[in-house]
Structure 1
Amino acid sequence: MQLLDCPVRNYAWGSRTALAELRGQPGPSPHPEAELWMGAHPADPSRLAGSGSTLLGQIAEDPVAALGQRVCERFDKRLPFLMKILAAEEPLSIQAHPSLQQAREGFERENHRGISLAARSRNYKDDNHKPELIVALTPFSAMAGFRDPASTVELLEQLGSERFVPYRDLLAAQPDGSGLRALFTTWITLPSSDVSELVDDLAESCVALLARSQRGRFAAVARNLLQLVERYPGDAGVLAAILLNHITLRPGEGIFLDAGNLHAYLHGVGVELMANSDNVLRGGLTPKHVDVPELLRVVDFEPLELAPVPLRNAEPGGTVEQVYQAPIDEFALSRIELDATGLLHSVSHGLSRGGPQIIACTRGEVIARGGEQEVRVPAGGALWIPDSDPEVILHAVTARDEVFRAVVPH
């Protein structure tokens, strides 16, 4: 096992304080820090602390020792997941991720056309899909999946805008996935002048709705929409946001997003685990490339009943490690709480063997012991455990230690 030196990705929507505070570094940082990558993605692999090699390179040198025979055969000698700590100070773009087949076809198609991987117009950076699970470390606001159309019709009625009546009627006449596709396509392909007028009108309608009631059913949605209008005036993504579920996760709660689920994270810090991919099709709230025809091929327009992912204990009768139940083959995520006093939680916890693991410490500090090795993992730090290692036991250092564990499920 080895500590990882994890790259920080700087995007405009990131925080200048959250990741610095987590890692015990001085803040504010010179640039917004958006994501801490823990894994072996070719675009930015983690490095093995104290050595000149990357995790990607170590896996390539001896994939069976790193991943185990089962994972090598199943995932073509590649680590199938990418772990991140994400810090959103401002909304991310509205986006969706392709299915595995769509990713393979799109990657091959763009390679055949000779589009550079670094090109702004490139949609597919790799040939993998990107289902993802996000778990909140702080209160975490997000939009994800299409709301039940009947509820969206009610929202449009409460907004009370004459400009939106034709769109409300369009969805009311076909309150299903086909109606959502028709309305979303209409909005995202409108001329920019029409989009600007609708977005301005939406802002006025949201202000009026909140003036009537600060605690109504759609009050939180109206506040979110006003924030989006302020940051992205004239952006069709603001209109798309009307159609999505709006949710705020409490710390420890998570949501799973499968291929095709349109979503945007709004604010907060969370642990994100996904298939090892960087494929993104954007639909707005961004100055980056938006490929409308490709986005429409990828998005799943069926309404999604969004709810936090259920948890189960990793062991019968145990409460130290809880697993987020996501229906995916590439990864499983669990949350482990340890307590050096032994009053609230166990002082130590053994990690079952079988396949590669990454451990991310999000609070306190833990000591990992395996065989003759002992490694201290501080908050904001990550530990790589290859398949060939002996059993690792985590030991608490403080009274409120928290780690997240990424594995490949059997």
Structure 2
Amino acid sequence: MMNDLLVEALRPVQDPELHRSIVDLGMLRQADLADDGTARILVALTIAGCPLRNEITNRVTSAAETLDEVSAVELEFTVMTDDEREQLRRTLHGDASGSAGSHQAHGHAEGRAIPFAQPGSTTRPLLISSGKGGVGKSSITTNLAVALAGMGHRVGVVDADIYGYSIPRMLGTDRPPTVIDEMLVPPEMWGVRCISMGYFAPENEAVIWRGPMLHKALEQFLTDVYWDEPDFLLVDMPPGTGDIAISLSQYLPRGEVYVVTTPQPAAQKVARLSAAMAEKVNLPVKGIIENMSWFTGDDGKRYEIFGAGGGQELADELGIPLLGQLPLVPMLREGGDVGRPIVAVEPESESAAAFRAIAERIAVELKPKKIFSPELKVI
């Protein structure tokens, strides 16, 4: 039975993974209010062993208890059937054979189009590139994503470094994606959703793949994952200019490239190659981020361990802005090792302030002026 008053009280309750009302998703199966004030509620979980069952319990109980008429809550759970999960997936994610577009061929093998390549997409793909390893690109991707989420944006991260994945550890996500009828719902931490090979590769085993398998993995990260139209999709690019970089330029033709470098000439030279690669595949390089710019000692003095000026020199050469300089601090590295990004856990620190300033420039100053709309057609 459904009590209208109780149903409306529960309508604002969202599934913590799908970010939709449990009422609108059809998860609420019973909402009965007995004469003695007991609310008897039955909720259908998307899968057995739902990892966020306790969170759903807390949300449903709190919402029901806001009613003066409710004196107690009796909450039980059931699980959706295979057919119900399929219908839920269709509602949220569409059919694999859905709308065709110019990038239809780059979708999942079943024919799903990549949503971020479609004219109506409002998501800004940010490709964080470096050209070489060891410059802190993944740390910057993680903290920049957390900073954007902290500004109120919906944010997702694709860990495209298939061989050297690290984003799950840096974000502190401790569970794999939830699978609903072959639709992957990515785990979320610090307001950021993430997908990575790290959720699927056996621990301590190397990923040894040739190009076609890398290509396929990236397809599925973009098409089989329920991203829910984020405002920003950050892509942690692998070092170099190989297969993955080429594939992503095809998958995300509206991607914006942000190049990470350190101040010394060796890093700057390789970072220049990353920018050249982006130019060849017609992706705009929007800005430079300089990492490890200085270290502040206990004496309060700044030490430029890796030199100075490399980021600005590269930015001037490419005719694009230097978005910010990030100090070399142990806490940034330590936070990445234990899943506590410095932007989230030390918001008043110098590093966190620098990340927020870069995020603000990307979100506002570098916002594309071109409007993409499926209704606009060239006749």
**What TM-score bracket applies, with the shorter chain setting the length?**
under 0.3
What is the TM-score normalised by the length of structure 1?
A: 0.24
What is the TM-score normalised by the length of structure 2?
A: 0.26
Higher fraction of strand: 1
Higher fraction of helix: 2
Higher relative contact order, chain-length normalized (CA < 8 Å, sep 6+): 1
